[in-house]
């Protein structure tokens, strides 16, 4: 038995994932957090901080930056210049601050749909224009599919006079791609040619499937802005900690001013201690066990879809714990499907419309195999009963 088979009871704990449904019977396979306890080394570090008993203003010391630097250098070959790091409370606030710091209202920001929905709101709330360079679907043998970048579309959008930034999702949510170095080099070349700055959201970078390599975008483009956080990999979103890696002092100053404009730049001591503990050899060992378990969940889920719902292909998952499923063959809008699955089947998934792709759903497999199996069984049974 894997330690990841033993998940704590989250219902009634103030969990956004588990306590948002109207019915207590709903199995939540939607929002991107995991049901697993975080790494023991993180728990121990937080316990020591709690036992201290004083929770005043937090100084982010050199040991924090050294943990960040050594982790990415040792694990990913990415030399983070810690003098160019801005800490903040999350990757989404980081992205919003970058847009507000570097763009004026009406400037264009490129995205590759389908993509993380908060990209859309961050662009819109900053008064900027969304420029779409959609990914291209590619069907694969065995009934799965994947996505490739449309470099012609990217070149076209980057050449527009209003284009200022590109929001890159690396690895990509929800396409499940871990972009290859040659793909990222082409992105860098296009954006450099047209004076577009790339902002890379790399929150899922630790969650590659076994044998798949994550390429830090900062290793191919020295002018990029990179957003990092341990929160997805170590299930610590509630600790609210992230980092922005800036290319130079001028860009760093603009982003720093945007973060500080509402005086919400402070982080809490638990986020600081959690990051330092996660980015250790003990954290790495736990993370590798997690990746192995998530891969098993993906193999199980993809196999169940192939067996019970072969008309609905699943993405070839290279990274994240969020497989993307084409449900267009069912003939029901994905938004309606999500709503009816919650109400009638007792299982909650995300519909593709929120990511810019009607006809798809996203399923969170970061739970115990038992809970995943029950959630999928409810989904398949409901579809079979309704004869879609």
Q: Is the pLDDT of residue 262 over 90?
A: no
The domain made up of 3-40+282-386 is a member of CATH 3.90.1150.10? yes
Please tell me the distance from the alpha carbon of residue 327 to that of residue 331, in angstroms, as a whole number.
8
Question: Tens digits of per-residue pLDDT, 124-164?
Answer: 999 999 999 999 999 998 889 999 999 999 999 999 999 99
Q: What is the mean pLDDT of residues 240-268?
A: 92
The CATH 3.40.640.10 domain(s) of the chain lie at: 54-280
The CATH 3.90.1150.10 domain(s) of the chain lie at: 3-40+282-386
Query: What confidence score (pLDDT) does residue 387 get?
Result: 80
Q: How confident is the model at residue 261 (pLDDT cuts 50, 70, 90)?
A: confident
Q: What is the mean pLDDT of residues 255-260?
A: 94
Q: What is the largest CA-CA distance in the chain?
A: 60
Q: How confident is the model at residue 8 (pLDDT cuts 50, 70, 90)?
A: very high
Q: What is the mean pLDDT of residues 94-101?
A: 98
Q: Is the pLDDT of residue 263 over 90?
A: no
Do 338 and 348 contact (CB within 8 A), yes or no? yes
For 67, 111, 155, 341, the CA distances from 33, given in Å and listed in that order, are 23, 23, 34, 20
* Other residues' Cβ atoms within 10 Å of the Cβ of residue 148: 13
Count how many Cα atoms sit within 13 Å of the Cα of residue 28 in the half-sphere of its side chain.
Answer: 19
Query: What confidence score (pLDDT) does residue 127 get?
Result: 98
Percent of the chain, pLDDT > 90? 96
Residues paired with residue 208 on neighbouring β-strands, in sequence order: 319
Q: Specify the CATH number for 54-280; select among 3.20.20.140, 1.10.10.10, 3.40.30.10, 3.40.640.10.
A: 3.40.640.10
pTM greater than 0.85 (yes/no): yes
Residues paired with residue 86 on neighbouring β-strands, in sequence order: 244
Query: What confidence score (pLDDT) does residue 55 get?
Result: 95
Residues paired with residue 242 on neighbouring β-strands, in sequence order: 88
Q: How confident is the model at residue 196 (pLDDT cuts 50, 70, 90)?
A: very high
8-state DSSP, 222? T
Please tell me the distance from the alpha carbon of residue 261 to that of residue 205, in angstroms, as a whole number.
29
Single out the residue of 2, 354, 41, 374 nearest to residue 173, CA to CA.
354
Count how many Cα atoms sit within 13 Å of the Cα of residue 317 in the half-sphere of its side chain.
Answer: 31
Single out the residue of 234, 176, 223 nearest to residue 200, CA to CA.
223
Q: What is the mean pLDDT of residues 236-252?
A: 98
Query: What confidence score (pLDDT) does residue 266 get?
Result: 83
> H helices of 194-333, where?
231-234, 249-260, 269-278, 281-308
Question: Tens digits of per-residue pLDDT, 355-371?
Answer: 999 999 999 999 999 99
Query: What confidence score (pLDDT) does residue 156 get?
Result: 99
Estimate to the nearest angstrom the gap between the alpha carbon of 27 and the chain centroid: 21
Q: What is the mean pLDDT of residues 267-277?
A: 97
Q: What is the mean pLDDT of residues 323-351?
A: 97
DSSP string across 80-148: --GGGEEEES-HHHHHHHHHHHH--TT-EEEE-SS--HHHHHHHHHTTPEEEE---EEEE-GGG-EEEE
Do 1 and 293 contact (CB within 8 A), yes or no? no
Query: What confidence score (pLDDT) does residue 46 get?
Result: 99
Contacts of 334-341 spanning 24+ positions with Cβ under 8 A: 334/358, 334/359, 334/360, 334/361, 337/361, 340/382, 341/378, 341/379, 341/382
Query: What confidence score (pLDDT) does residue 1 get?
Result: 84
Q: Is the pLDDT of residue 47 over 90?
A: yes
Q: What is the mean pLDDT of the chain?
A: 97
Estimate to the nearest angstrom the gap between the alpha carbon of 373 and the chain centroid: 23
Q: Is the pLDDT of residue 32 over 80?
A: yes
**DSSP helix, strand, coil percent of the chain (3-state; round to 5):** 45, 15, 40
Q: Is the pLDDT of residue 265 over 80?
A: no
């Amino acid at each position: 038995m894997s330690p990841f088979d033993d998940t704590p009871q989250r219902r009634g704990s103030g969990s956004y994932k588990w306590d948002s449904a109207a019915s207590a019977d709903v199995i939540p396979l939607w929002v991107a957090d995991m049901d697993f306890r975080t790494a023991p080394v993180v728990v121990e570090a937080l316990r020591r901080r709690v036992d201290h008993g004083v929770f005043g203003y937090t100084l982010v010391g050199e040991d924090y930056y050294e943990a960040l630097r050594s982790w990415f250098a040792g694990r990913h070959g990415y030399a983070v210049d810690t003098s160019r790091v801005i800490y903040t409370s999350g990757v989404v606030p980081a992205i919003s601050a970058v847009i507000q710091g570097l763009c004026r209202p009406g400037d264009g920001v490129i995205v590759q749909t389908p993509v993380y929905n908060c990209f859309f709101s961050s662009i819109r709330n900053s008064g900027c224009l969304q420029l779409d360079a959609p990914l291209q679907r590619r069907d694969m043998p065995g009934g799965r599919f994947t996505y490739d970048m449309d470099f012609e579309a990217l070149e076209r959008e980057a050449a527009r006079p209003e284009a200022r930034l590109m929001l890159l999702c690396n690895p990509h949510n929800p396409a499940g791609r871990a972009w290859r170095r040659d793909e990222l080099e082409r992105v860098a070349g296009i954006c450099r040619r047209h004076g577009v700055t790339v902002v890379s959201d790399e929150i899922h970078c630790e969650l590659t499937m076994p044998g798949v390599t994550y390429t830090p975008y900062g290793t191919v483009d020295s002018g990029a802005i990179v957003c990092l956080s341990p929160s997805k990999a170590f299930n610590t979103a509630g600790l609210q900690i992230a980092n922005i890696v800036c290319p130079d002092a001028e860009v760093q100053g603009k982003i720093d001013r945007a973060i500080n404009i509402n005086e919400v730049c402070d982080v809490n001591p638990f986020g600081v201690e959690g990051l330092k503990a996660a980015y250790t050899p003990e954290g790495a060992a736990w993370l590798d066990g997690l990746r192995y378990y998530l891969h098993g969940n993906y193999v199980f889920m993809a196999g169940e879809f192939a067996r019970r719902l072969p008309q609905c292909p699943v993405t070839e998952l290279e990274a994240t714990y969020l497989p993307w499923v084409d449900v267009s063959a069912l003939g029901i809008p994905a938004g309606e499907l999500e709503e009816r699955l919650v109400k009638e089947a007792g299982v909650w998934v995300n519909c593709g419309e929120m990511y810019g792709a009607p006809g798809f759903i996203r399923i969170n497999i970061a739970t115990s195999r038992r809970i995943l199996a029950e959630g999928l069984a409810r989904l398949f049974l409901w579809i079979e009963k309704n004869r879609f």
